[in-house]
Structure 1
Amino acid sequence: MTRPAETLPVPKHVADLAGDREVTAVWLNDLGGVTFSLAGEEFVKVYPEQHAALLVAEAERMTWAIEYHSVPTILSSGPGWLHTAALPGRSAVDPYWTKRPRTVTRAIAQGLRLLHAAAPVDQCPFGAPSWIPADAPTADLLVVCHGDPCAPNTVVAEDAQCSGNVDLGDLGVADRWADLAVATMSLEWNYGPGFEAEFFDEYEIEPDDERIAYYRARWQEQAGPPR
């Protein structure tokens, strides 16, 4: 997932939702999906037709997760698009936060800790994230994982607390180390080396090197490099 390097065309339904508000393409993913900001107040995620089912899956997960964790409210949807309200704050990879890596690292850890503590495993209807194999090691602790816990998927409020999480299309039950391993790998990608200790301190856990190595390897095999 990257910021678009050039101006992208705005689909008609996105323009209709925006009305007089400014529309900006803010994220482009590997599947050709584009997320448009409507004046920073709302977002519309648009996927190519062949991947439209992924947005249906994400909407189902958001609808379930919002009962337990701070995630965007769905405003409307249609074939290949999902329209949500913005969470208060800025992306954890906004330039404001990339200049404050220790602070934002703690917010990322806080968000995952809150999700893992609040979302009930026994009531979650979603299986393991798509990149985790069926023969994964016995879990240290089963939780409802974000599934794509890279830094851009945390929103941070002005008080440096986690405002919530976005991009929940792979949310499901798995070992908490699936999230923790990928999230900490993403820290170096976005902020440089040296912030993992800050993350684990905020999450209140000691690193499990074996599980970290396992889940990072599975992520890189299935989902590609961290974001």
Structure 2
Amino acid sequence: MIASAPGAPVEVPPAVREIAGGRPIRAVWRNELGGLTFRVGADSRALFVKWSPVELPLGPEVERLRWSASHAAVPRVLDRGADEAGEWMVTAGLPGLSAVDDRWLADPGTAVRAIGSGLRALHEALPVPDCPFDWSVERRLASARERSAEPIGPAERPPGLEHVTSVREALRVLADIPPADRVVVCHGDACAPNTLIGDDGRCVGHVDLGSLGVADRWADLAVATWATRWNYGPGWEESLLDAYGVDPDPDRTAYYRLLWAVSD
């Protein structure tokens, strides 16, 4: 299963029902690890409740959202809690629709430009010297080494690196770390669904910042461009880079896509 809007009814955790207090609840997202996001309420004052099983703690995302909120348009954390089944956080809503809403899937040119320009704006807004979070290659490689015996599935292998079939093989390739192009505070999961787009076709915010941290900007750009293939089909990568304002960098792109495939 990949992350997507639920295509069938989902069981609402008791904690979410309690938070809703009788207001309407709609599941809007399910990730591949079993986490769920619910919209509570049906008007402009709607809240969002992100619920995760116990093995997927939300503390890191809460910390990153609270730090980022004074610099960029990200969800404002209103509350958080936990019980024996999982953890949850409650956030205020943001305007706009996900870049993979049906409206933007039908208009990929606008969506891709919004993703690229929005990512550039995020990178420029978040202050590197003040950021306490690390998403460096070194930290991510340390995580990957814990999984060295695992295979890499065909769908996870980056274009041009299809021959790399295990984490152990990937670690040998990844030992040659490219010099940083530009160090920024990266989103950490710059896939299309995590950009919100307003009615005017511009980025109005970002969500799902649980891996946010300081890294080379290509750690985000490699994944953002790759995700255009998954969500909109081939042919949109250069449009995203144009909107961001950078020329293609095949070597860094290949490196950071492979790192993405083997690290958390």
TM-score (norm 1): 0.92
Q: Conserved in 1, the CA contact under 8 Å of 2:196 and 2:205?
A: yes
Q: Conserved in 1, the CA contact under 8 Å of 2:141 and 2:263?
A: no
Q: Conserved in 2, the CA contact under 8 Å of 1:62 and 1:72?
A: yes
Amino acid at match of 1:75: L
**1:67 is aligned to 2:70:** yes
Instruction: State how far apart, in whole Å, the 2-side matches of 1:161 and 1:129 are.
Output: 29
Instruction: State how far apart, in whole Å, the 1-side matches of 2:186 and 2:250 are.
Output: 19
Superposition deviation, residue 6 in structure 1: 2.1
Greater Cα offset, 189-198 or 128-137: 128-137
Instruction: State how far apart, in whole Å, the 1-side matches of 2:140 and 2:54 are.
Output: 25
Aligned to 2:114: 107
Instruction: State how far apart, in whole Å, the 1-side matches of 2:211 and 2:226 are.
Output: 18
Q: Conserved in 2, the CA contact under 8 Å of 1:105 and 1:195?
A: yes
Match of 1:9 among 6, 11, 22: 11
Aligned to 2:140: 132
Q: Conserved in 2, the CA contact under 8 Å of 1:14 and 1:44?
A: yes
Superposition deviation, residue 24 in structure 1: 1.2
Where relative contact order (Cα < 8 A, 6+ residues apart) is larger, the structure is 2
Instruction: State how far apart, in whole Å, the 2-side matches of 1:195 and 1:213 are.
Output: 17
C-alpha RMSD over aligned residues: 1.6
Deviations 1:131-182 (A, max 9, x none): 8336643211100000100000001111111111000000000000000000
Greater Cα offset, 136-145 or 96-105: 136-145
Task: Name structure 2 gaps, 5 residues minimum.
Answer: 143-174
Q: Conserved in 2, the CA contact under 8 Å of 1:108 and 1:199?
A: yes
> 3-state SS of the aligned residue for 1:36?
strand
Instruction: State how far apart, in whole Å, the 1-side matches of 2:4 and 2:202 are.
Output: 24
1:1-227 correspondence runs (5 A): 1-39=3-41, 41-52=46-57, 55-79=58-82, 80-128=87-135, 132-133=140-141, 136-222=177-263
Percent same amino acid among aligned pairs? Answer: 49
Amino acid at match of 1:24: R
Instruction: State how far apart, in whole Å, the 2-side matches of 1:116 and 1:110 are.
Output: 10
Q: Conserved in 1, the CA contact under 8 Å of 2:99 and 2:196?
A: yes
TM-score (norm 2): 0.80
Instruction: State how far apart, in whole Å, the 2-side matches of 1:133 and 1:120 are.
Output: 24
- Residues 189, 86 of structure 1: alpha-carbon distance in 2 compared, 3 angstrom cutoff: same
Amino acid at match of 1:83: V
> 3-state SS of the aligned residue for 1:57?
helix
Instruction: State how far apart, in whole Å, the 2-side matches of 1:204 and 1:154 are.
Output: 17
Greater Cα offset, 110-119 or 122-131: 122-131
Amino acid at match of 1:175: D
